[in-house]
Amino acid sequence: MVQTIMVIGAGQMGGGIAQVAAQAGYNVILNDIKDEFVQRGLGIIDKNLSRAVSKGKMEAAAKDAVLAKIKTSTSLDDAKDADLVVEAAIENMELKANIFKTLDVVCKPEAILATNTSSLPITQIAAVTKRPDKVIGMHFFNPVPVMKLLEIIRGFMTSDETYNTIAEIGLKMGKVNVEVKDSPGFGSNRILLPMINEAFFVLSEGLGTAEDIDNVMKFGMAHPMGPLALADLIGLDTCLNIMNVLYEGFKDSKYRPCPLLVKYVQSGLLGQKTGKGVYDYSK
């Protein structure tokens, strides 16, 4: 039975995962490489919960109870107490592989190791461990406390027992589970990122302004946010990384990253997190 969940990475995604896990009643260990990163993540969780209290969606006592469920950590050795570890580090295979190698040694044999990767192969990550049957993808969506979808990705050797446990946890977190097989971009980003990439091609060809392109999808296709604004929210570097995974994984020219997207990333214009991407957020 899963009672304690460790979340590795206290950024936007990791903090959100920690919050929904604590709200679902799990004991949570929020981990990052520096205490300042962990405290920043904890502060965002506190802010999210305070907003819910101010709107009358949560009692102040319930907020305190959720925060009391979260312990902080800067050492992967703390994973020894976890029944489930959810890795939410940056999209870098070498980094993730090193984390999973360490977790495989530190964690108890029955612990499940999950990754929040948005595109990297679960099977390849699982291969660095001696428990590939207990490795699985848990792809949450941003912002985690709001977005209902949980994409659960089976690796080649992921067991039914592991999948069923994670599916149960997803439901307890209030998520809508979608099961997909391990493939570049999985289901969500194989559909979403080519659309975003095409929006950059349309922008680069001068077919319309960024606002006009986004408005086509918002008011013509009923999308809550246009693809270029969504790219800024996701992070243009993340978008480019996923397009590269698709391009390299399928060897198909339709996944070729738009040169304009590449230029934005090379210029350090990564979207909301840097204050400027397609749109300017510094004002």
- Active-site residue, from 119, 189, 197, 241: 189
Active-site residue identified among 151, 177, 188, 197? 151
Q: Which helix (H) or strand (E) holds 135?
A: strand 135-140
12 is in an annotated binding site: yes
Among 237, 235, 213, 236, residue whose Cα is nearest residue 225: 213
The answer to whether residues 13 and 30 touch, using CB atoms and an 8 Å cutoff, is no
Is position 118 annotated as part of the catalytic site?
yes
Q: Is 10 annotated as a binding residue?
A: yes
Question: Quick one: residue 30, left, alpha or beta (phi over 0 = left, psi -120 to 50 = alpha)?
Answer: beta
The reply, when asked if residue 9 is annotated as ligand binding, is yes
What distance in Å separates the CA atoms of residue 111 and residue 166, rounded to the nearest whole number? 12
Segments in the chain forming alpha helices (H):
12-23, 35-54, 60-68, 93-106, 122-126, 160-172, 188-204, 210-215, 227-234, 236-250, 259-266
| 75 has binding-site annotation | no
- Annotated ligand binding at 11? The verdict is yes
Choosing from 118, 119, 177, 241, which is the catalytic residue? 118
Rounded to whole angstroms, the Cα distance separating 173 from 236 reads 28
Q: How many CB atoms lie within 10 A of CB 235?
A: 21
Catalytic one of 87, 139, 177, 197? 139
Q: How many CB atoms lie within 10 A of CB 49?
A: 22
Degrees to nearest 5, angle at CA 127 with 87 and 84? 35
> Going by C-beta distance under 8 Å and a sequence separation of 6 or more, which residues neighbour residue 163?
136, 152, 154, 179
283 is an annotated ligand-binding site residue: no
DSSP 3-state assignment of 39?
helix
Q: Is 13 annotated as a binding residue?
A: yes
Bridge pairing between strands 135-140 and 176-181: unpaired
Judge whether 189 counts as a catalytic residue. Answer: yes
| Annotated binding-site residue? 220 | no
What is the C-alpha separation between 93 and 97, in angstroms, rounded? 6
Annotated binding site for NAD(+): 9-14, 32, 91, 96, 118, 142, 273
Q: Catalytic residues, which ones?
A: 118, 139, 151, 189
Annotated binding site: 9-14, 32, 91, 96, 118, 142, 273
